[in-house]
Chain A
Amino acid sequence: MTALTFLEQGFTRRNRRRSFATLFLLLFLIYFLLPLFWLIVSSTKSDPQLFSTFGLWFAHFNLVQNLREVFTYDGGIYLTWLGNTALYAISAGVGAALFATMAGYAFAKYRFRGRGVLFAVVLGSIMIPQTALVIPLYLLLSKVGIINTPFAVILPSLISPVGVFLMRVYAERAVPDALLDAARVDGAGEFRIFRSVSFRILVPGFATVLLLSFVATWNNYFLPLVVLSTPKYYPLTVGLAQWNSSSSAGGGANVLFSIVVAGSLVAVIPVAIAFLLLQRYWQGGLTAGGVK
């Protein structure tokens, strides 16, 4: 057997194996995309058709009419929810990422008394059940009078213990001590070093935490469900869940099922786009968290 045919054989065997593995993953891809495909198909259907046609294929195209109903139902409340969700997610995302970056940087690059204990407390807080926090939070916020306001959702969402953890690991690996020492020798203050040297290096990690906090707040349901009672402050999740209950209850005065479905699709799109655009960051930035 010549070397060439030997190589060729190895190559085709490898290709065959690769095709088999690809096929295997394709089956799973269908599973992961099926509900989203259903969502897209269903949001093009009128309400009666949702119940009378095959769920996984298109019928009469009614998407435009559905979207119009989503955005005009109940005086256009959906648009308010969309705006609220964006406000909560952007302010909590940016704030949480910034504070987590600063805290993670401090844990990574400074030696100080109580560092280990403090970090353990921050990390341990991940285990606290959300009900154990949100219920007392509801009572406390009622006392200080910010219950049922946007602050009741945004302020607690600014804490990201996982973000601090990720940024600590990231800063430990990405920011060399020698660089900081060089900047100090040049006479730069600690905050200037952070702003003009360290932060630039930390941007990929910052973007990852920003994205994760943005998504966590955009998708959060439990906290706003508890602390908000006026529909005009609702984010999409709470609003959609309420529409869903109303639509499942049936009857003439209730929300149409087709509106719930089309509204759900609109709620997914911004986050999906954010993920597509920031792929580089979540794929690279999560590296830091994966190793510790």
Chain B
Amino acid sequence: MWHTRRRALQRTLVPFAFLAPFLVLFAFFLITPLVYALRMALYNERLVGGTVFVGLSNLEQAVQDPSFYTGLEHMALLGVVQIPIMIGIALLFALLLDARAVWLPSLFRLGFFLPFAVPTVVAALMWGDLYAPSFGPLAQISRDLGLGTPGFLTSTWMLGSLGNIVTWEWTGYNMIILYAALKTIPPEIVEAAAVDGATPLQTALRIRIPFIAPALVLTVVFSIIGTLQLFNEPQIMSVIAPQVIGTSYTPNVYVYNLAFSSHEFNYAAAVSFVLGGFVFLSSYVFIFLTRKQR
């Protein structure tokens, strides 16, 4: 009796022992900063009077902040255009590689995935130099062809130029996730379709893509989260195009500058919470919309 009760207690504690290292770190370095940030957002530092409780006023200000929305609009536009292109290409690659429709599939898998190994800082540095209007090779080629100097780093094209960097970095990663999902389709299903006379295109549209719909949703949600949080690329680009990027080109660039240039830590925390709200909202809306269709 004693023995069994002790066993039972041990049984309940075992999973928590396995979870303990992760959960302790999670509590210290994720939950604590989050709670602290929330607290910060509710207070203000005043020169006279020190820390003052201001309730929701920082959050109210953040929700109405035009600088925040400038960045958010950039990211919304980038997301609506770039994510479908990137996931579309990644899906096409994954389908072609999975169907053995190309020669040298492992070369392509590795080559497309390689940019993921490149630090975003280095990726932004490289593309920044490729875009350069004076010595950049793309401009050199364009001038040789008599097409003039392209304005990759102008305010008109900057968003597209950033979108290109993001696409370059993440297409291969998404391709690998989708490819791995395609690999789990039982071969009998695809073979049966072929026996029934389905063309490869029909098989892809009616069987293979619907089968990996959950993985597709996952890649899009990760992309939405990543896009709304874009920081490294615009931060590095601001070195070569300071007038175009400015201090609020993306929400995270804005938050960073609020905190470390203006030292408005409390307001920065409030803005980052509002951003978090938008990230949650857009991911949730996307999951909801795709769930309804299925």
Residue B96 is within 8 A (CB to CB) of chain A in the complex: yes
How many chain B residues touch A (CB < 8 A): the figure is 97
Q: Are A290 and B215 in contact (CB under 8 A)?
A: yes
Specify which of A25, A38, A219 lies most central, judged by the most chain B CB atoms within 10 Å of its CB. Answer: A25
**Residues of chain B lying within 8 A (CB to CB) of residue A122:** 26
Interface residues of A in 1-50 (CB under 8 A from B): 17-19, 21-22, 25, 28-29, 31-36, 38-39, 42, 50
Q: Does residue A264 face the partner (Cβ distance < 8 Å to B)?
A: yes
Could you pull out 13 A-B pairs where Cβ atoms are within 8 angstroms?
A22-B104, A35-B123, A51-B134, A54-B137, A131-B256, A155-B25, A158-B29, A161-B26, A222-B231, A241-B125, A272-B114, A275-B110, A292-B214
Residue pairs across A and B with CB atoms within 8 Å: the count is: 276
B108 contacts the other chain (CB 8 A): yes
Query: Which A residues are within 8 Å of any B CB, using their own CB?
Result: 17-19, 21-22, 25, 28-29, 31-36, 38-39, 42, 50-52, 54-56, 98-100, 102-103, 105-107, 110, 112-113, 115, 118, 122, 125-140, 155-156, 158-159, 161, 164, 190-191, 194, 215, 218-219, 221-222, 226, 236-237, 240-241, 244-245, 248, 260-261, 264, 267-268, 271-272, 274-276, 279, 282-283, 286-292
Majority secondary structure of chain B interface residues (helix, strand, loop or mixed): helix
- Given A25-B108, A127-B225, A287-B184, A275 and B103 contact (CB-CB distance below 8 Å): no
Q: Kindly provide the distance from the CB of A33 to the nearest chain B CB, expressed in whole angstroms.
A: 6
Task: Kindly identify which residue among B18, B23, B112, B273 contacts A132, using a CB–CB cutoff of 8 Å.
Answer: B273
Given that A32-B111, A103-B19 are contacting pairs, would A271 and B117 also be in contact in the complex, using a CB cutoff of 8 Å? yes
What residues make up the interface of B, taking CB atoms closer than 8 Å to A? 10, 12, 14-19, 21-23, 25-26, 28-30, 32-34, 36-37, 40, 89, 93, 96, 101-104, 107-123, 125-127, 129-130, 134-137, 140, 168, 171-172, 176-181, 183-184, 212, 214-215, 218, 222, 225, 228-229, 231-232, 235-236, 239-240, 251-252, 255-256, 259-260, 265, 268-269, 272-273, 275-276, 279-280, 283
Q: B180 touching A286 by the CB < 8 A rule?
A: yes
Cβ A55 vs Cβ B14 within 8 A: no
* CB < 8 Å neighbour of B29 from A54, A155, A286: A155
A148 to B96, CA, bound (A): 48
* Dominant secondary structure of chain A at its interface with chain B: helix
- Are B283 and A190 in touch, CB under 8 angstroms? no
Besides the known contacts A18-B103, A36-B114, A290-B180, 17 further A-B residue pairs in the complex with CB atoms under 8 A apart: A32-B111, A32-B115, A32-B172, A52-B135, A99-B21, A103-B21, A105-B18, A113-B12, A131-B268, A136-B269, A155-B28, A215-B117, A221-B235, A267-B122, A272-B114, A275-B116, A292-B214
Q: A140-B36, A268-B119, A271-B117 are in contact. Are A102 and B22 (CB under 8 A)?
A: yes
Is the Cβ of A136 less than 8 Å from the Cβ of B37?
yes
Is B30 in contact with A131, judged by CB distance below 8 angstroms? no
Interchain nearest-CB distance for A224 vs B (Å) = 11
Which of A42, A52, A272 lies in contact with B117, CB distance below 8 A? A272
- Do A22 and B40 have beta carbons less than 8 Å apart? no
Question: Does A28 lie within 8 Å of B30, measured CB to CB?
Answer: no
Q: How far is the CB of B201 from chain A (nearest CB, A)?
A: 12
A133 touches B18 (CB 8 A): no
On chain B, the residues within 8 Å of A36 by CB distance are 114-115, 118, 126
Q: Are B239 and A194 in contact (CB under 8 A)?
A: no
Cα of A282 to Cα of B116 in the assembled complex, Å: 12
Q: What's the nearest-Cβ distance from chain B to residue A281, in Å?
A: 12
Question: When chains A and B are docked, how far (Å) is the Cα of A23 from the Cα of B21?
Answer: 49
List of B residues within 8 angstroms of A155 by Cβ: 25, 28-29
Query: Contact between A35 and B126 (Cβ–Cβ < 8 Å)?
Result: yes
Contact residues in B for A136 (Cβ distance below 8 Å):
33-34, 36-37, 40, 269
Using Cβ atoms and an 8 Å threshold, which residues of chain B touch A275? 110, 113-114, 116-117
| B121 close to A241 (CB less than 8 A) | yes
Contact partner of B21 among A102, A118, A137, A237, CB < 8 A?
A102
- Contact status A131-B231, CB under 8 Å: yes
CB <8 Å contact, B18 and A102:
yes
Q: With A32-B115, A106-B19 in contact, is A132–B126 under 8 Å at CB?
A: no
Chain B nearest CB from A1 CB (Å) reads: 19
**A56 and B137 contacting across the interface, CB-CB below 8 Å:** yes
Q: How far is the CA of A112 from the CA of B20 in the complex (A)?
A: 14
Whether A140 lies near B33 (C-beta < 8 A) is yes
Note all chain A residues with C-beta closer than 8 A to B17.
Answer: 191
The residue in chain B whose Cβ has the minimal distance to the Cβ of A245 is: B239
